[in-house]
Structure 1
């Protein structure tokens, strides 16, 4: 499993406590951990430097840095006024933060949530974000409450599009949305995953799995338009795969998916 702890703002004792929490998690057998900062609580320069120093510490001690890094910005919440926070990030500074993290750890996934609006998420994908959420509920028990026609939020989200709307948006933008979970199921975690990621070898697993899980999701949950978009993109990308064996595996996998088979991955 992935174990994620958000860094606290600039309180040394709290930081050291959370630093030790990561160590205890990995010493206890959790191979992949995700970090992040709730930007807006402290000087963003301090936060980014602390995050990178923490990643370096994990690399030195365990041989594995952060699997993912989240970059949420503090948002309006009930009983809270943003006027009390002097370190709020402008959009321009936020983009710089994302770009700096991407340059510093090119092999780490960067997650951006629905706290950010469509425009920011579109820009951030160009600067280095690799994972975006959709259809999110921020309340405790929020998804069940949503089914019952109620709405409970801990804080305000900005991108209210449905998962299918976000999928179509990503396809229109030319990205390959991936729903793959194969690495965890194939035990490609921890040092094994990091070795594949740093060498670039992970692409031989990620690309075919992304194409097949995209097609599977579109067939199961998409409408006709989404399926056509997904299949068009998949066909365009298949011919770019240099490895003949992998290309053949994906072509045959797509045929099997259309015939009703599911859960095909490398």
Structure 2
């Protein structure tokens, strides 16, 4: 079985090897038979087409048994990336059928390079969950991540996702949005998440890849400083409540302060005692 990448826009991106595999395959499984038929017609080929998408993946074992030289294509790009191709690979491996994946087109690699953001390390998120706890968790993970993050988004959800990213990552976090890669109206916009959210506030058209910069060490330190308690004020408040130095130290340690807990506790306790004219026995 072969997984064959197909162009994400420009038909000239189909490789010679991909065309040769489609020519020699016994059958071609695909997400959309009409779309794949148009591609085969462009290549001057005629092959049996078998629909195999997220709703019909249950027929994969039977197709693999019937067509030993099966080629699988998704609607666009490399099968197995944000489409049911990964399930087909699992079915083939379970049946001890050799799998060959051809290199070829995919949207997130050119979007990453076009973004101008760091490329040495990155995480591909695919499509975010539409709502709920899982979406919030993924957004929080993106906000905390040091490496660049890439995700796909549909046109009618792009504006909401950019707003959510700006809220989670910070309005000034650098990002880019690429649309219609390799097609006539290809475009990449770069800027802060706030700027991009405003730019795409109205419903957009096309297929989108969003690229978000990782959090820098400076940004992480600043965020941690904002979230850190005022240990001096907290220790003073505990001392005013009548706690001794040891109890103040233990309370500060429980709330996350380790190395200097006793120093804060002792200073607060001595200040409180000086104010009341008492000493700790």
TM range (shorter): under 0.3
- Choose between structure 1 and 2: higher strand proportion: 2
Higher relative contact order (CA 8 A, sep 6+): 2
- Choose between structure 1 and 2: higher helix proportion: 1
* Structure number with bigger Rg: 2
Normalized against structure 2, the TM-score is what?
A: 0.23
Normalized against structure 1, the TM-score is what?
A: 0.24
